[in-house]
Amino acid sequence: MAIFKRKAAEPADIVAVPSGRRPLSLALQGGGSHGAFQWGVLDRLLEDDRADVRAVSGVSAGAMNGTALVSGLAAGDARAALDKLWREVNQSGGRNVFGDSALWNPAQAPDWIKDTPLWRAGESLALSMSPYEFNPLNHNPLKRVLKAAVDFGAVQASDIKLFVAATAVRQARARVFETGEITADVLMASACLPHLFQAVEIDGEPYWDGGYLTNPPLWPLTGDDTPDDVLLVTLNPMVREETPRAAGDIVDRLNEIVFNAPLIAELRAIAMAAEMIAEGQLKHGAGAYRQVRLHAIEADGWLSDLSLRSKFNTEWSFLNDLKSRGRAAADDWLTTCLPSVGRQSSVDLQARFG
């Protein structure tokens, strides 16, 4: 079940949609190694070449994908840049790249042991330790991955608008870094899970994972200098048909709810603004109240069979499976929803939030 009920494009709209490339903003959610699903989505969109990406916002793995995309577009081969990013993630062995522990690696353990009381007790013990205790030298292989895969000079000079969110620890607010500010440290801050990594300090302020307060940030994509169409690509399923009962399943579902909450709040605000504009209570384009056309490629259905633990899995076969799922999801979207781009939203926010 999907949270976003799709709107069918009107026949007149399908006929009237102009040929050629269509301006689009991307909003990329975070989700550890599940970000390889977005790799597949972007790979298929780039292969198709009808989406003209002019702005990208992201958090954590979504921010990494977005930055690699912008870097690759500057170099003339964005698909190769994304391939390079995920090959580097794989070759780093997953050790701490997405919060994994070399001593407590879910990807390396046999499936039968992961739901035993002993394993869960070990997980609890690992989470009770501070990263300032078990990693005092603050080693983080993610920096090597990013420097190997991304040309940050090209990113900072790009005409594509890039927004990366992180959580300011002391101020408890979302900080959105823009194109000219994007560095490896900014991406590491956006992906910093506080129970696994030391806070990343930038300009004297410590930062944690941006997904706690915005996942991904949508408001930067509602400005008058970005496209009217926004494609949201999520990594955390919104809907679960069954109530979790096992300890691990409860933790997984709680994680999904916590990291989806900021997105739901922003979607509700966008739906309310659209309703007020439609009723004449707000003027379209007045201040921050610009109506955008929203589209979505959701994790629901495509990633619903995966657990929280699999977000730490960077085995090449698993990453390529996620990529294949992303390509299939994007292919479906290109067939059913691309005709709406430039004309109307292809998802019905009013059905959920109106």
Q: Which residues does the annotation mark as catalytic?
A: 60, 209
Per DSSP, 132 falls in state: H
* Three-class secondary structure of residue 202 per DSSP: strand
Q: What is the dihedral of CA 119, 122, 124, 130, to 10 degrees?
A: -150
Label the pairing between strands 51-58 and 161-168.
parallel
Cα distances from 267 to residues 34, 222, 348, in angstroms, run 22, 12, 11
Label the pairing between strands 51-58 and 5-6.
unpaired
Determine the Cα–Cα distance for residues 46 and 79; give it in Å rounded to an integer.
7
Q: How many residues does the chain have?
A: 354
Determine the Cα–Cα distance for residues 175 and 59; give it in Å rounded to an integer.
11
Tokens matching residue 338: 């691309």
Greatest CA separation for the chain: 62
Cα distances from 43 to residues 130, 144, 150, 299, 336, in angstroms, run 38, 23, 17, 16, 18
